[in-house]
């Protein structure tokens, strides 16, 4: 007979649950959670109406990285397929422009890396990835912070100031993320019962009473 246990999420539970918990997190909705779309992004069509993504030879898609003078240095874009465009145009300050091009290229390479490349059912997985980015403050923050931190460290080194700059990068009006919104979304996540290792875990966000610290 299977045992049953209800626990707050612990490292052992996370290691047992793995990817299934992550998928449950994306698909499970609570009031006010994953329901505020990112207004700067293009609205997603239903998955059944998605345009076919480009394909390359082989099992995995090979995305492209191009540099263009149609965009200014410091501007970049990664499309749904994972293809990257990085601007290289400038108005006289070639040294600063080269630095911005390096930063942007490294930033966009992270978005490219995170784009699904296995070409079997790729449209569905790309749709899920884009949907998570657009509707979740947490997922959007994690992706942008990772991309910018990687870019800062690749160009300037592993200095504390550059790591902090990368971590702060997504906060503000451009990506429509605040600390309060991140906290509210985190508090709204409840995964519910998940079976793992013969035990049913009730995975939820929260602090145990004996783990809280008193405010000064």
- List average pLDDT for each run of 10 residues in the chain, which is 216 residues long: 45 51 53 74 80 93 95 94 94 88 97 95 92 92 97 95 96 94 78 56 48 41
In the prediction, which pLDDT does 28 show?
A: 53
- Is residue 25 one of the residues assigned to a domain? no
- Is residue 161 one of the residues assigned to a domain? yes
- Is residue 144 one of the residues assigned to a domain? yes
- Is residue 103 one of the residues assigned to a domain? yes
- Is residue 116 one of the residues assigned to a domain? yes
- Is residue 111 one of the residues assigned to a domain? yes
For the beta sheet containing 199-204, the strands, ordered from the edge strand earlier in sequence to the opposite edge, are: 3-4, 199-204, 190-196
- Is residue 32 one of the residues assigned to a domain? no
Note down the domain range covering 81.
58-175
- Is residue 115 one of the residues assigned to a domain? yes
DSSP E strands, the chain: 3-4, 65-72, 76-78, 84-89, 190-196, 199-204
What's the domain count of the chain? 1
Please answer whether residues 149 and 106 qualify as being in contact, where contact means their C-beta atoms are separated by less than 8 angstroms. no
Note if the pTM is more than 0.75. no
């Amino acid at each position: 007979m299977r045992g049953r246990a209800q626990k707050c999420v612990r490292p052992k539970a996370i290691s047992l649950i793995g990817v299934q918990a992550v998928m449950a997190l994306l698909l499970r909705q609570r009031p006010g959670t994953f329901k505020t779309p990112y207004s700067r992004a293009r609205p997603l069509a239903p998955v059944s109406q998605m345009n076919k993504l480009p394909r390359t030879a082989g099992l995995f898609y090979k995305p492209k990285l191009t540099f263009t003078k149609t965009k200014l240095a410091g501007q970049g874009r990664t499309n749904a397929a994972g293809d990257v465009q990085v601007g290289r145009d400038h108005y006289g300050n070639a040294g600063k422009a080269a630095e911005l091009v390096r930063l942007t290229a490294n930033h966009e390479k992270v978005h490219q890396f995170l784009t699904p490349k296995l070409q079997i059912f790729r449209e569905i997985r790309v749709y899920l990835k884009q949907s998570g980015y657009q509707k979740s403050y947490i997922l959007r923050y994690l992706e942008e912070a990772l991309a910018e931190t990687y870019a800062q460290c690749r160009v300037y080194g592993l200095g504390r100031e550059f790591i902090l700059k990368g971590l702060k990068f997504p906060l503000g009006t451009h990506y429509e993320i605040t600390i309060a919104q991140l906290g509210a979304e985190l508090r709204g996540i409840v995964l519910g019962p998940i079976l793992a290792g013969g035990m049913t875990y009730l995975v939820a966000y929260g602090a145990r009473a004996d783990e809280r610290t008193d405010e000064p």
